[in-house]
Structure 1
Amino acid sequence: MRITVPTARVLAALLARPEDDHYGLELMQAAGLASGTLYPILTRLTEAGWLERRWEAIDPVAAGRPARRFYRLTAEGVVAARQALAELRAQLDGPTAAAGEARPAW
């Protein structure tokens, strides 16, 4: 899977609490991404087997809001995400790190 900076931000947000369920608005805020960027990333990660998704089990009328779709890293996804971010960091720490340039914070 190709890891772009937005994808790295999503993976970092998911890895902050890998055992938890996350929903779209939470991930948009944590990753600093718009919904039009976030949801295609979540779809690709799900299709790759890195994420599982499920609908929240609530009564929308009683809750006064629509049910949320939750996303959680799979066991394979946790390993793959950590490896992908480590490889990206290693690439960024290459020649530019020696020149004293700051690494971006996803």
Structure 2
Amino acid sequence: MPPIRMTTALAKVVAALLHDPTAEHYGLELMRATGHPSGTLYPILVRLEAAGWVSTRWEEIDAAEAGRPPRRYYRLTAEGVVAARQALAELRLQLDPGASTVTKPRGATA
């Protein structure tokens, strides 16, 4: 598996997929969720698929009957869920080195 370099654009896609990690998502839905145009989104999805984070499938519909072309669905794999959560946690630590996974509310005492 090629390593994934976590960029802001990739982090937004991963976060959108993690919003409901067992659901299938299609491109237009992910473009709306992330604000990314297709030229940004689809190369990211290809990278995630190559890394084993995402599996894909084509919708099986009659395009004429449905009035639209078939959609390609993207779903995080079990390994992808774990890797995505870990990568986002590492990104949070890079952005805020003082942050930890366990934080105390403001004003709390030990």
TM-score normalized with structure 1 length: 0.88
Out of 37, 42, 47, the position equivalent to 1:44 is 47
Verify: 1:74 aligned to 2:77, yes or no: yes
TM-score normalised according to structure 2 size? 0.85
Greater Cα radius of gyration, structure 1 or 2:
2
Give the Cα–Cα distance (whole angstroms) in 1 for the partners of residues 60 and 84 of structure 2.
Answer: 27
Aligned residues: 96
Query: Aligned equivalents of 2:76 and 2:32: distance in 1?
Result: 18
**Unpaired segments of 5 or more residues in structure 2?**
100-110
Q: Point out which structure has higher relative CO (alpha carbons under 8 A, 6+ apart).
A: 1
- For the aligned residue pairs, the C-alpha RMSD in angstroms reads 1.1
Residue ranges of structure 1 left out of the alignment (5+ in a row) = 98-106
Whichever residue aligns with residue 5 of structure 2, its letter is: R
**Equivalent runs, 1:1-106 vs 2, <5 Å:** 1-94=4-97
* Amino-acid identity (%): 68
Q: Give 3-state SS (helix, strand or coil) of 2:21's partner.
A: coil
